[in-house]
Amino acid sequence: MTFPATEEPTRTKTAPLGDNSSKARPASPPKQRNRVEPKAGSPTTGKTGVRPRPEPVSPRPGSKTAKVLTLLKRPEGASLKQLLKATGWQPHSIRGFLSGTVTRKMGLKISSIKAESGERRYKVMA
């Protein structure tokens, strides 16, 4: 952009670096954190924050969850190898599924018994 020779852009004066005296704000008091109380429809109960056990939900027929629960509900339960074969999952995924989905989300109790052969068997407690 070119300017005519008679008109030059005007420059404004700026404060020297480090001079923030004109921009200083008064100190504000520290913010207080408000304690949030659980809402009336909240799943937590009381001060402990313990959630009630959920109602057991039946899985879709033919899903991996249904296959695992069928194996776990047998009288002898299921070994980790049997669960691996039925789902195709990694061992850590099966253990996480048993801990998170079956026990916490579905509200079922699982027993873990180590057989004489050294193989661990999992079983849903009635």
**Residue 82 belongs to domain spanning:** 64-124
Residue 71 is predicted with a pLDDT of: 95
CATH number at 99 reads 1.10.10
Q: What is the DSSP string of 44-68?
A: -BTTTTBPPPPPP-PPPTTSHHHHH
Our count of domains for the chain comes to 1
The answer to the question of residue 32 being in a domain is no
The answer to the question of residue 13 being in a domain is no
Tens digit of each residue's pLDDT (9 = 90 or more) over 50-63: 666 656 667 889 89
The whole-model pTM stands at 0.55
The answer to the question of residue 46 being in a domain is no
Question: 121 phi and psi, to 5 degrees?
Answer: -120, 140
The answer to the question of residue 68 being in a domain is yes
The answer to the question of residue 17 being in a domain is no
The answer to the question of residue 115 being in a domain is yes
